[in-house]
Structure 1
Amino acid sequence: MKISLICVCNPETVKKKHWHGASADSWLVHLAVEADVSAGPAEWLEPVTDEEYNKLK
């Protein structure tokens, strides 16, 4: 990924369970703008445990 990269996800991709995040030696900023208010609010999934987070590379 590059600075200022814009990603557009189709509705079917957004409906699938997925996770955004960083690892212990990297970072991520996730800015989302929802335009389809008829689809309802975002569904937040279970938090990642410290153990899971620390295993990420």
Structure 2
Amino acid sequence: MYTLLGTAKLNGINPQRYLRHVLERIAEHPSNRIDELLPWVVAAQWADEASAKDMPLAA
């Protein structure tokens, strides 16, 4: 657990927010796709979402 939260910090994401994100999803998440919940994957996903919000919508 310590390593996972430390990795979240190293990837620039709030460990508490990351843990909440994972716990909200893990029960229904397919076990063969567990790598999608790793800190660096979640960090990239959140970065993409944040940049998408800053970009104007195409007309």
TM bucket by the smaller chain?
A: under 0.3
Q: What is the TM-score normalised by the length of structure 1? A: 0.20
Q: What is the TM-score normalised by the length of structure 2? A: 0.20
